[in-house]
Amino acid sequence: MMLVRYLSQIGKYFIMLAEIFKKPTKWSVMRGLVFKEIDDLIIDSLGIVSFISFFVGGVVSIQTALNLTNPLIPKYLIGFATRQSVVLEFAPTFISIIMAGKMGSFITSSIGTMRVTEQIDALEVMGVNSLNYLVFPKLIALLLFPFVIGIAMFLGILGGWLGGVYGGFLSSSEFIQGLQSEFVPFHIVYAFIKTVIFALILATIPSFHGYYMKGGALEVGKASTVSFVWTSVIIILANYILTQLLLAS
C-alpha cells in the first residue's frame, strides 16, 4: 500500500514538472517574480553560506593537519586535502543540504500558505497557470545557485588557508603547493554539474510539497518538515549516482 502511495506521488511530481512549462505567464509579470525569487532564495542565502563555508574550510584544514603526525608525510597535503574536500563534496553537496533546510522550508511554507488561504485557487479562477506562476520563477532564480556554490568553494579554501597558515601548521607556500598539486580541472566541472541538478531538486521538490498539501496552517509546518527530509534524501541519492557516473567511470 505504501509502495503504491509513493509511486503515485512520484507520478504526480513528474506531471507537475510538465505542467510548469504549459501556458506561461507574460514576461512583464514573470520578470518581477524572477527578481523577487533571486532576492529571496539567492541573495538572502549568501550570508549563511559564506559563514559556514569559511569556518568549515578552516576546520577541515586544522583537522587534516592534526592527523598528519608522521614527519615523512609532506605538509602540502593539508592544502590538497582541503581543496579536494571543499570542491568535491562540501561546497556542492553539503551546502545544498543546508539550503534544503533554508530555501526548501521557505518555498514549501510560502506556497503552502497560498494553498491554505486559497490564493492558488484564485489564480486558477483567473485563468493563470498557477504552477508556472509560482514554480517557474524559482527554477530560473536557482540557475544562479552555482554562483553561490562558487563563493562557497572560494571561501572554504580561504578559510582552510587561514586556519592552516595562521594556526602554525604549515607555510603559505606549502598550502598553495597543495592546492595546485595533482589538480584535475574536471573536478570543478563535476561539482558544477552536481550543483545544477541539486538546484532543480531544491526548486521543485519543496514546491511540490507546498502546492499539493492539504489541511490548515498546522499542516504547512508538517509539509515543510517532510519537504526538507525528502529534498535531502533525493540530493544524497543524486550525489551518489552522479559521482558513480562522472568520477567512477
* Residue 60 located in a structural domain: yes
Does a structural domain hold residue 154? yes
Q: Would you say residue 37 lies in a domain?
A: yes
Which pLDDT score is estimated for 249? Answer: 61
Domain that holds residue 219: 29-246
99-102's contacts with Cβ under 8 Å and 24+ in sequence apart are: 99/45, 99/49, 99/145, 99/148, 99/202, 100/202, 100/206, 100/228, 100/231, 100/232, 100/235, 101/228, 102/45, 102/48
Number of domains in the chain: 1
> Is residue 50 in some structural domain?
yes
Q: What pLDDT shows up at residue 199?
A: 93
Could you tell me if residue 163 is inside a domain?
yes
Give tens-digit pLDDT for 82-141. 898 999 888 899 999 999 988 888 899 998 888 888 888 887 888 888 888 888 899 999
36 in any annotated domain: yes
Residue 211: the pLDDT is 85
Does any domain span residue 67? yes
Domain annotation covers residue 79: yes
Q: Which pLDDT band holds residue 9 (cuts at 50, 70, 90)?
A: confident
Q: Whole-model pTM?
A: 0.89
